[in-house]
Structure 1
Amino acid sequence: MPSIPSMLQRILDKPVSDGEIKVLESALSAFLDFGIKRTSMGEIARRAGISPATLYRRFESKNDLVEAVSLREAQRFVAEIDKRVQTVESTEDQLVEIFVAFIASMAGNELLRRLLRTEPDLILPRLTTEAGPILTVGRTYLAEKLRELRPTDRDFDPDLVAEIMARLALSLALTPDGLIPLDDIDAGREFARRTLLPMVVAHGAS
């Protein structure tokens, strides 16, 4: 298994060609329709408009393709957070947007929700007893974003706040029904201001 820094670097830096995007979108579409187990490489090739032989030249196995689709979803996830942060200026508003984007994007991921519903035996171990690597990648990424927003605040612990955010997002992805708003962005922002910001700005307020 790749180390956490290399896993995160692949998410942040790995370029995707136009031809590869079409294959990955075709695979994602098939996974959403049939699930991962029931999707054949032939079906993905058909949707991508290429031969199975061409598909196997690009991806040696379905496991490799599943990993590539997961990486692409993670890249979309990161892009959504960056996009939201760029829409606001103040540090506090940026912290709120990071929180809302991270929570909502993970809890609302269509493929993840589909797999939790139809193939829990495949996905649940990776999100529960084997979730350490996922949490570490999420925490590492979030901590770096938080450090960028509060680079001179030595009293602020970005790793701890990022850990809480990552664990909350994972919990909400597994059990989205509850009092924490996921579908209403404005309500999510208000929740973040009442719960997250007090943890982050307490030291800076003095």
Structure 2
Amino acid sequence: MAKLAKLLPLVRDAGAEDGNQAAVLDAALMAFLDFGIKRTSMTEVARRGGLSLATLYRRFAGKSELVQAVALWQAKRFVEQVDAAVQAQVDRDASAEDQIVELFIAFLAGLRRNRLLERLLNTEPEIVLPYLTVRGAPVIELGRDYLAEFITRLQSEGKLPQYDPLPVAEMVARTSLSLSLTPQTMIPIDDDAAARRFARAHVVPGLL
């Protein structure tokens, strides 16, 4: 998994002295949830993060860069939570089919819990959508790289045939992002039993 500094290229001078970077991003996230992006000032984020406004601006050129950093940070946390959920539900000795199904279920569960994305898509779509569409490459790359690692591990265990995992992983990542942006779907995202049947019938074959 890429390190936080790699995932947040717009964080300036990220280094050992920035050990509280996550706290700053969390402060921004809480402010966005409380006030929305438009009404959140850099001053408010600095206050919540316990640092001076000048220090905040040394790390981020402006609010646009801060918003993108929070989006990437949340995407990274989302992937980590999905991975943890999969590991909790299935043993590493489980079949590729079972692991793929649980990955799909964990993704849907994480999607349902994403308060920030739900709020912003409902209240400020014009602000958040560019970071997930025309400027969404970093988020897609994060999901693609995680899925490629997932596929490669199953291949190394002899549970999936050998093929280049990156194109398949990117296709799945792009589809997942589309589902997160437009949750109105015929896919049974709110019924785990039905979602498992759907995954076995339609998701698993795409990876086997």
Note the C-alpha offset of 1:8: 9.1
Could you tell me whether the CA contact under 8 Å between 1:35 and 1:115 is conserved in 2? Answer: yes
The aligned length equals: 196
Q: CA deviation at 1:83?
A: 0.5
The Cα shift of 1:15 comes to 8.8
Where 1:179 maps in the other structure, the secondary structure is coil
Q: Structure 1: how far apart are the matches of 2:168 and 2:87?
A: 21
After superposition, the C-alpha distances for 1:129-157 in whole angstroms (9 at most, x for unaligned) are 45455434422331221111123444555
The whole-number CA distance in structure 1 between the counterparts of 2:40 and 2:5 is 29
Percent identity at matched positions?
50
Distance 1:61 1:183, change over 3 A: same
Q: Is the 8 A contact 1:99 1:165 kept in 2?
A: no
**2:132 maps to which residue?**
127
Tell me how far 1:27 sits from its aligned partner. Answer: 0.7
Deviation, 1:40, is 0.3
2:100 aligned with 1:95, yes or no?
yes
User: Equivalents in 2 of 1:179, 1:118: separation in Å?
Assistant: 24
Quote the Cα distance in structure 2 between the aligned partners of 1:75 and 1:128.
17
Distance (Å, rounded) in 2 between the aligned partners of 1:129 and 1:68 = 16
Contact 1:107 1:169 in 2 (8 A): no
SS at match of 1:150: helix
Q: Judging changes above 3 Å, is the alpha-carbon distance between structure 1 residues 134 and 46 closer, same or farther for their aligned structure 2 residues? A: closer
How far apart, CA to CA, are the structure 1 residues paired with 2:206 and 2:4?
26
Contact preservation (8 Å) 1:106, 1:173:
yes
Q: Which residue of 2 aligns with 1:85?
A: 86
Match in the other structure for 1:180: 187
Q: For 1:17-56, what aligned pairs fall within 5 Å after superposition?
A: 19-56=20-57
Unaligned runs of 5+ in 2: 9-13
Alpha-carbon shift at residue 76 of structure 1 (Å) = 0.7
- TM-score (norm: length of structure 1): 0.75
Residue pair 1:103, 1:168 contacting (<8 A) in 2 also:
no
Q: Tell me the residue number matched to 1:75.
A: 76
Deviation per residue, 1:37-76 (Å, 9 max, x gap)? 2210111223234443443454453234323322321221
1:106-145 aligned at under 5 Å gives the runs 106=111, 108-132=113-137, 134-145=139-150
Secondary structure of 1:92's counterpart equals helix
Which of 177, 188, 198 is the aligned partner of 1:170?
177
**1:135/1:163 contact within 8 Å kept:** yes
Q: Distance in 1 between matches of 2:131 and 2:118?
A: 14
Q: CA deviation at 1:96?
A: 1.6
- Structure 1 gap ranges (5+): 202-206
Q: 2:6 aligns with which of 10, 22, 29?
A: 10
2:146 and 2:182 map into 1 onto residues whose CA distance is 23
Q: Is the 8 A contact 1:41 1:52 kept in 2?
A: yes
Look up the equivalent residue of 1:115 and give its one-letter code: L
**What are the superposed Cα offsets for residues 6-26 of structure 1, whole Å, 9 maximum, x if unpaired?**
8998249x9996633322211
Query: Whole-Å Cα distance in 2 between the matches of residues 157 and 106 of structure 1?
Result: 27
Output the CA distance in 1 between the equivalents of 2:167 and 2:28. Answer: 36
